Structure 1
Amino acid sequence: MSHITLIRHGQANSGAQDEASYDRLSALGHQQSAWLGTHLRERGQHHARLYTGTLRRHVETATSMDMELEPVRDARLNELEYLTLARALEAEHGIPFPTDNASFTTHLPLVFQYWQDDRIDGAPERFADFEARVNAALTEIAEGDGPALVVTSGGLISMAMRQVLRLDITAMAQMALAIYNTSQHRLFPIGGTLSPTMFNAIPHLEAPDRHYAQTHV
């Protein structure tokens, strides 16, 4: 059983109103990813394998990291469709679509709760199916040979943490809100079970002249 380091993608198009428009890195997102790749190479961290979702922001993040590993694209590592869920929640239950960061932080837990309860008819996938695909993908990767880097998204990382820490839906949502762009999160096999040994690490953005690059959306 091998350890997994989950990487959230670089900053995307945070002003987008739909999934397709969101799915590309900003200039800062490319820079964050390049800094992370440089950090990993300079520290001599060994990774035998690289996985990404199939979303554009995942692919662009891995490309900008330049890890000299051939990536395996796996759609099971794709993000939940928050913007689609939010629009469906508004249409079906009259809960307004968030218009700023403050409203987003209270809106995301609502989306997660309604979604888990199967109360969003227009959801592109059921919460239970999202949970199952994340578990299946990470279990398969952990069973592979050698440490793995996995470039994915914040919602998937929060789901991974929900599974290993047995978090309730509110805690999962709060964790999702906290995750930085290009942050590292490690799951290490202990006693035959993956356990979290690192969460939300951004050493490549800790220098004072890079604090502006510590972004969440």
Structure 2
Amino acid sequence: MSHITLIRHGQANSGATDEQSYDKLSTLGHQQSAWLGAHLKAQNQHHARLFTGTLRRHVETEAAMQMGLTPIRDARLNELEYLTLARAMEKEHGVPFPTDQAGFTTHLPMLFAAWQRDEIAGAPERFCEFEARISDVLREIAEGDGPALVVTSGGLIACAMRQVLRLDIGAMAQLALAIYNTSQHRLFPIGGQLSPTMFNAIPHLEDPSRHFAQTHV
């Protein structure tokens, strides 16, 4: 088995209220991604393979990183559709769509729990299907030859950590809320299973001059 370094995309269009409008990097998102790529190259970290989801923000993050590897696009690495789920939950259960960060922080755990219980009829995919595709694609990547970089999204990373650490849905939501844009998360094979050896690392943003770029949304 090979180790996997999961990368969350750079800052997207955080003011959007639908999936299509959200799915593009902001100017800061492009800069975060470029800084991450420069850091990885400066540290001479060896990665034999590069994977991304098929979302625009994944593709733009990978392009800005300039890693010199030909990316493999895989839709199984795409994010859950939070905005679609939130609108469906509002319509079906009367739970208001969050309008600020405090509201989002409260809303996300509620939404994840309802989604896991199959209580959102308008969900674009069931939670069990989301989990299954993540498990399948990460297993396939780990079975490949050489360390892999995987550019994806925060919800998927949180779910991957839920799987390897056997966390409940509330803990998964807390992880998702904490994940920085362009953060690194490593899964390393130990005893035939993937185990987390890095979570939410942002060394490329730790210099005081870059603290403004430590964003979550």
Alpha-carbon shift at residue 184 of structure 1 (Å):
0.0
Counterpart amino acid of 1:59?
A: V
Alignment identity in percent? Answer: 80
1:116-164 residue CA offsets vs partner (Å, 9 max, x unmatched): 0000000000000000000000000000000000000000000000000
1:141 matched residue in structure 2: 141
| Cα drift, residue 13 of structure 1 | 0.1
Q: Distance in 2 between matches of 1:127 and 1:35?
A: 34
| Residue 78 of structure 1: aligned partner | 78
TM-score, with length taken from structure 2: 1.00
Q: Which residue of 1 aligns with 2:25?
A: 25
Structure 2 SS opposite 1:50: strand
Aligned-partner Cα distance in 1 for 2:99–2:80 = 20
Q: Deviations over 1:88-117 (max 9, x none)?
A: 000000000000000000000011000000
Q: Which residue of structure 2 aligns with residue 56 of structure 1?
A: 56
1:110 aligns with 110
What displacement does 1:196 show? Answer: 0.1
Report the aligned-residue RMSD.
0.2
- 1: distance between equivalents of 2:111 and 2:155? 12
SS for the counterpart of 2:67 is: coil
CA distance in 1, matches of 2:25, 2:169: 28
Secondary structure of the residue aligned to 2:140 is helix
Q: Counterpart of 1:192?
A: 192
* Matching residue's letter, 2:59: V
1:132-211 equivalent positions in 2, closer than 5 A: 132-211=132-211
Q: Deviations over 1:2-33 (max 9, x none)?
A: 00000000000000000000000000000000
Whole-angstrom distance in 2 between the partners of 1:127 and 1:199: 23
1:45 maps to what in 2?
Answer: 45
Per-residue CA distance 1:164-205 (angstroms, 9 max, x = gap): 000000000000000000000000000000000000000000
- Counterpart of 2:142, as a letter, is A
What CA distance in whole angstroms lies between the structure 2 residues aligned with 1:11 and 1:79? 14
Q: How many residues are treated as equivalent by the alignment?
A: 217
> Alignment partner of 1:149: what SS?
strand
Corresponding residue of 1:212: 212
SS at structure 2 position matched to 1:216: coil
Letter matched to residue 64 of structure 2: S
**Following the alignment from structure 1 to structure 2, what is the Cα–Cα distance between the partners of residues 109 and 201?**
23
Which residue is equivalent to 2:127?
A: 127
CA distance in 1, matches of 2:199, 2:17: 29
AA at the equivalent of 2:29: G
What amino acid is aligned across from residue 17 of structure 2 in structure 1?
A: Q
Q: Structure 1: which 5+ runs fail to align?
A: none
Uncovered stretches (5+) of structure 2, i.e. residues with no partner? none
Distance in 2 (alpha carbons) for counterparts of 1:148 and 1:56: 20
SS at match of 1:124: coil
Provide the rounded CA distance (Å) in 1 between the counterparts of 2:130 and 2:43: 34
